[in-house]
C-alpha cells in the first residue's frame, strides 16, 4: 500500500516543481503532501547549499519550535559531534535515519533529543535528505511524541526523497532567475519525447522572441536541451542562446523523478549573466585552456602568487600566458582585461 502512496506523492511533488514555486512555497506545499502519511508534531525542511551543505533556508510545518530552542537546535546542527546532522546524512548513501536506530549509548546522550525534543515533550525523530544526481539540495526532520516512526514510514520517505530533491533544484533556479518582467517564472515541462506539456506565460514570451529569428527555432533548441539533460550524468544541461536583440539567455534543463523510463524534463529560461557568458567570450577570443584558467583567476581578483599556488605553475609561466591573452583580447594590462571580461559588465540589457 505504501508503494502506491509513494507513487502518488512523487507525482504530486513533480507537479509542484513545474508550477513555478520558489523553495519555501514548494517545501510548504510538499509538507502538506507528506504529512498525512508521515505524521509529526513538528517538522522543519531546509534548503542546503550542495557545495557546502550549509543550510540556506528553513520552512516549518503547522507547528513552530519555541524561539528559545532555535539557537540550541542550530548548535547541535553545526557542532560536528551530534549524530544524524543534515550534513552528515547528505554524505551517506541511505537518505533516511531514525534516531532510535543509533546505538543505545548514543541515543541516551543525544544532545538534540535531550536539549530540545524532550523538553518539548517529544520522543522520536527521523531525518531525511533530498538528493538527486549526486547533489543534496535539502533535508527535513520529523519529530513526534508517542509511537516511534515505523519502517514503512522510512521506506516512504526513502522513495520520495529524490523527487523532492529534483523539485527543490528547480525551485532554487526559480528563486534566483526565473522571473521576467514580473509575469512569473519561465518554465516549460516536456514529456517523454521532448514535446512541451506545459508552458508558462513568461516562457511563451521567450518562445515568441526566439522564433522571430527563425520559425520553429525555439522547438529545436528545446529538443536539444531535453536531449542533453537526459544524457547528462548529473541530470542537468545548459545552453546559451542569442536573442533577436543581441542579448543572451540561458536555457537549463533538469530531470524530474518519475516512474516512467523517460522522466519528465523541466526547462527554465533566464537572462544569461556575465558569469554564464565569460567562458564563451574567452573561447571567442581564441584563448587556450590554460590562458582561460588564468584569466578567470585574474577576474576573480587573485594575485600572481595566489594563481601560482592554485594552478601549481610558476609566476613566470603565468606572466607568459597573460601576455599571450592580452594580445588576443587586445588589452595591455590586467585592469583592461578585467574591464573587458568582467562578468557583471556582460549581462545583457533588456
Radius of gyration of the chain (CA): 24
> Do 161 and 111 sit in the same domain of this protein?
yes
User: Which one of 243, 272, 301 terminates a domain?
Assistant: 272
Sign of CA dihedral 298, 301, 303, 306: negative
pLDDT of residue 156: 96
Domain that holds residue 334: 276-346
Say if CB 115 and CB 72 are below 8 A apart: yes
What mean pLDDT is predicted for residues 195-208?
87
> 3-state DSSP call for residue 347?
coil
Q: Which range is least confidently modeled, 61-75, 128-142, 268-282?
A: 268-282
User: Which residues on neighbouring strands pair with residue 127, listed in sequence order?
Assistant: 97, 141
pLDDT of residue 347: 43
Tell whether the model's pLDDT for residue 350 goes beyond 60.
Answer: no
> Do 170 and 187 sit in the same domain of this protein?
no
d(CA 311, CA 290): 9
What mean pLDDT is predicted for residues 142-160?
96
d(CA 87, CA 329): 43
Decide: pTM greater than 0.85.
no
Using a 10 angstrom Cβ sphere, with 0-12 exposed, 13-18 middle and 19 or more buried, the burial of residue 170 is buried
Q: Which range is least confidently modeled, 91-95, 127-131, 281-285, 290-294?
A: 281-285
Cell reading at 220: 529545436
What percent of the chain has a predicted confidence (pLDDT) above 90? 38
CA 263 from chain centre, in angstroms, equals: 18
What percent of the chain has a predicted confidence (pLDDT) above 70? 90
> Do 38 and 55 sit in the same domain of this protein?
yes
> Do 114 and 225 sit in the same domain of this protein?
no
Q: pLDDT grade, residue 262 (50/70/90)?
A: low
> Do 111 and 205 sit in the same domain of this protein?
no
Q: pLDDT grade, residue 76 (50/70/90)?
A: confident
pLDDT of residue 294: 92
Say if CB 234 and CB 167 are below 8 A apart: no
> Do 169 and 301 sit in the same domain of this protein?
no
Q: pLDDT grade, residue 19 (50/70/90)?
A: confident
pLDDT of residue 345: 47
d(CA 40, CA 28): 14
Cell reading at 240: 546559451
CATH code at 317?
1.10.10.10
pLDDT of residue 244: 74
Say if CB 61 and CB 143 are below 8 A apart: no
> Do 87 and 221 sit in the same domain of this protein?
no
Q: pLDDT grade, residue 66 (50/70/90)?
A: confident
pLDDT of residue 277: 64
Amino acid at each position: 500500500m505504501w508503494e502506491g502512496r509513494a507513487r502518488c506523492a512523487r507525482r504530486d511533488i513533480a507537479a509542484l516543481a513545474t508550477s513555478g514555486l520558489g523553495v519555501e512555497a514548494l517545501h510548504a506545499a510538499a509538507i502538506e503532501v507528506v504529512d498525512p502519511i508521515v505524521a509529526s508534531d513538528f517538522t522543519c525542511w531546509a534548503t542546503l547549499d550542495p557545495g557546502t551543505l550549509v543550510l540556506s533556508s528553513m520552512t516549518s510545518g503547522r507547528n513552530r519550535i519555541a524561539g528559545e530552542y532555535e539557537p540550541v537546535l542550530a548548535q547541535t546542527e553545526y557542532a560536528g559531534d551530534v549524530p544524524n546532522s543534515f550534513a552528515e546524512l547528505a554524505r551517506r548513501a541511505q537518505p533516511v535515519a531514525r534516531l532510535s536506530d543509533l546505538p543505545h549509548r548514543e541515543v541516551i546522550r543525544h544532545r538534540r533529543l535531550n536539549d530540545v525534543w524532550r523538553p518539548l515533550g517529544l520522543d522520536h525523530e527521523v531525518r531525511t535528505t533530498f538528493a538527486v544526481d549526486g547533489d543534496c539540495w535539502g533535508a527535513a526532520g520529523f519529530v513526534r511524541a508517542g509511537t516511534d516512526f515505523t519502517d514503512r514510514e522510512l521506506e516512504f520517505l526513502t522513495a520520495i526523497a529524490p523527487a523532492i530533491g529534483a523539485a527543490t533544484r528547480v525551485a532554487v533556479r526559480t528563486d534566483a532567475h526565473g522571473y521576467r518582467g514580473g509575469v512569473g517564472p519561465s518554465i516549460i515541462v516536456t514529456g517523454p519525447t521532448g514535446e512541451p506539456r506545459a508552458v508558462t506565460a513568461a516562457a511563451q514570451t521567450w518562445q515568441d522572441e526566439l522564433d522571430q529569428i527563425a520559425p520553429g527555432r525555439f522547438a529545436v533548441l528545446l529538443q536539444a536541451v531535453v536531449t542533453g539533460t537526459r544524457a547528462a550524468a548529473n541530470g542537468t544541461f545548459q545552453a546559451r542562446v542569442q536573442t533577436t536583440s543581441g542579448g543572451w539567455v540561458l536555457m537549463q534543463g533538469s530531470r524530474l523523478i518519475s516512474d516512467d523510463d523517460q522522466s519528465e524534463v523541466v526547462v527554465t529560461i533566464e537572462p544569461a549573466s556575465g558569469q554564464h557568458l565569460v567562458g564563451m567570450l574567452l573561447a571567442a577570443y581564441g584563448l587556450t585552456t590554460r590562458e582561460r584558467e588564468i584569466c578567470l583567476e585574474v577576474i576573480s581578483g587573485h594575485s600572481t602568487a595566489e594563481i601560482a599556488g592554485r594552478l601549481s605553475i610558476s609566476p613566470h609561466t603565468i606572466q607568459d600566458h597573460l601576455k599571450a591573452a592580452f594580445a588576443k583580447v587586445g588589452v595591455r594590462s590586467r585592469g583592461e582585461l578585467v574591464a573587458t571580461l568582467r562578468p557583471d559588465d556582460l549581462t545583457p540589457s533588456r
